[in-house]
Amino acid sequence: EANIYFDKTAPTVAGSKVDYTSYTAIEGAKLEVTKVDTSFITWRRYSDGIGALPIAQTIEDQTYDWRLSAPEKVSVIRADQSALLATKHELIVMAAIS
């Protein structure tokens, strides 16, 4: 099972077709954002009951490393992200650890 990332336009996985009519929210998933090449955490939040996570970053502190983790799920990690990429609105499907 592969992770599929969505933005507001279309899936970004080449050749994939996905049709979601429902989802199971992951409450308590942790998002941590750090400045690149440091351990300085610029943002830490946990998802709510519908799986939503607010995020904000500044252009002055970019670039960022980004990690989304949840119990029994494969973490999603992104490195060297601009403020715009680190904060974009998207649906992230997390795969179960097998």
Place of tokens 């519908």: 50
User: What is the reported pLDDT for 8?
Assistant: 47
**What's the whole-number mean pLDDT along residues 16-28?**
76
Q: Quick one: average pLDDT of 26-45?
A: 95
Q: What pLDDT is attached to residue 89?
A: 81
> Using 50, 70 and 90 to split pLDDT, how confident is the model at 93?
confident
Does the pLDDT value for residue 19 go beyond 70?
A: no
* Measured distance CA(38)–CA(28) in Å, rounded: 25
Tokens 């607010």 belong to which residue? 54
**How would residue 75 be classed by pLDDT, with cut points 50, 70 and 90?**
very high
94 burial level (CB within 10 Å; 0-12, 13-18, 19+): middle
At 31, the amino acid letter reads L
